[in-house]
Amino acid sequence: MKVKNIRSRKALKFLGLLISAMVIAAVSAQVYSYMYITGKGAVSTGTGLMWEEGDDAPADTSIVGNTVSNVNMTVNDGTPSNYTDCLHIVNQDAVDHNFSLVVTSSPSPAGDKANFTEFNLVLFDESNVTQAVLDLKTQGSNATGLTIPGNETWRVLFELVPVSSPTDGATVDFEVELTYESAP
């Protein structure tokens, strides 16, 4: 009888420990911790970077919000043409902004692109020093690590150099994206 009694006590202890472990596990599984994010999105005008038309922007150029459109430039019979003061990038803040430029789209056929030896966007700072050159015929052409100081205006020049005997009506379409860090 002693053997049964010892086994019964051990079994009862084991059963008690097992039930205790299950209760602890069940209680622990039901403990949750929560994390929250609160905030708001607001529209702010008059801060950050903005586009501005320059003195020789094409007549149909339009700026609506952050988008410049209808920058339709032409060249005649193989004669190079520069739009030297086409657009401006204006830093409306007193703080510097880091930014990058990338040609996100250049969908024109290779034959049309071949009519230009140069079709570039050239970016100048306030001291008239070249800061970037993007080949608008090449998707992915980019300039990174640019910093425009607070309250400065930089100039965008478009350089179009056609081949000596270009095809009449050849067109190069492009899209450029400017990405910048907002002020804290």
Q: CB-based contacts of 52: which residues, under 8 Å, 6+ apart?
A: 63, 87, 88, 89, 90, 153
Cβ-contact 176, 121 below 8 angstroms: yes
> What is the Cα–Cα distance from 49 to 156, expressed in whole angstroms?
14
Domain boundaries, the chain: 49-180
* Out of 21-35, 105-119, 145-159, least confident range: 21-35
Provide the whole-model pTM. Answer: 0.74
Q: What's the CATH architecture for 49-180?
A: Sandwich (2.60)
pLDDT at 100 over 50: yes
Question: Each residue of 148-175: pLDDT tens digit?
Answer: 999 999 999 999 999 999 999 899 999 9
Alpha-carbon gap, residue 135 to 141, rounded angstroms:
6
Mean pLDDT, residues 93-113 taken together = 91
In angstroms, the CA 126 to CA 123 distance is 10
